[in-house]
Chain A
Amino acid sequence: NAGVTQTPKFQVLKTGQSMTLQCAQDMNHEYMSWYRQDPGMGLRLIHYSVGAGITDQGEVPNGYNVSRSTTEDFPLRLLSAAPSQTSVYFCASSPRVVYNTGELFFGEGSRLTVL
């Protein structure tokens, strides 16, 4: 199993451009989520999904869209990139959703710079 795969690993955008960060997992996990990590801020939740067709907002959802058409994929879309979205983005999945009794499996991250 590959686990959680994120692409691209590095990306540079100009302000106003749009792009999609891809996340795929091959563990048949129902739960998937996106976090951003900034220096001194820890990880902050952007969006999450408890199953195909179901998504919800986290702590910092503005400027990002998600969809969950399949169990395996959970792409994160930046609609109009801003310098404040420069960050490292992590996708994570878990086999359980009830009371979060499962551990999160993380991808290796996507490093995004917005100029």
Chain B
Amino acid sequence: SQQGEEDPQALSIQEGENATMNCSYKTSINNLQWYRQNSGRGLVHLILIRSNEREKHSGRLRVTLDTSKKSSSLLITASRAADTASYFCATDAGQAGTALIFGKGTTLSVSS
């Protein structure tokens, strides 16, 4: 069963706009990660936020984590056409030595 679920499933914006996608999960976690997948390629790690952190930044990316609501958001500021990709959240379900469980992803399309 899916641990994380992204919302929305698809998002279309213009270059320069901000893109926000959300992830909800079911059980307690040690950390939450976000990945990007360009069409036909493997996933690439973007950012990791630990359960005791509330916000983290990396370049144009801002991730928040609310463990009380079991949710996270990924904000991409000043989007570019190159940001067009699918974005996935992944969680560890709080168990040491187990695998990351991925959501179904948000497909972001940035048009110029």
User: CA–CA, A106 to B33, complex, Å?
Assistant: 14
B1 contacts which chain A residues (CB < 8 A)?
Answer: 59
Interface pair B43/A106, CB less than 8 Å apart: yes
**Chain B: number of interface residues, binned into ranges:** 20 to 34
Interface pair B42/A41, CB less than 8 Å apart: no
Q: From B44, B45, B96, B99, give the contact of A98 (CB < 8 A).
A: B96
Segment from A13-21, A43-51, A68-76, A78-86 that makes contact with B = A43-51
Interface pair B99/A99, CB less than 8 Å apart: no
User: CA–CA, A35 to B44, complex, Å?
Assistant: 14
B103 contacts which chain A residues (CB < 8 A)?
Answer: 42
Interface string of A92-113 (1 = CB under 8 A from B): 1000011111011111110000
Q: From B30, B88, B90, give the contact of A99 (CB < 8 A).
A: B30
Most buried by B among A33, A100, A109: A100
User: CA–CA, A44 to B101, complex, Å?
Assistant: 7
Interface pair B100/A40, CB less than 8 Å apart: no
Question: Is chain B's interface secondary structure helix, strand, loop, or mixed overall?
Answer: loop
* Smallest Cβ-Cβ distance to A49: which chain B residue: B99
**Chain A: number of interface residues, binned into ranges:** 20 to 34
User: CA–CA, A100 to B100, complex, Å?
Assistant: 7
B30 contacts which chain A residues (CB < 8 A)?
Answer: 99-101
User: CA–CA, A50 to B2, complex, Å?
Assistant: 22
* Smallest Cβ-Cβ distance to A40: which chain B residue: B104
Interface pair A100/B99, CB less than 8 Å apart: yes
User: CA–CA, A104 to B2, complex, Å?
Assistant: 18
Complex A-B, nearest 7 residue pairs according to Cβ-Cβ distance, in ascending order: A106-B42, A42-B104, A103-B45, A100-B92, A43-B102, A99-B30, A106-B43
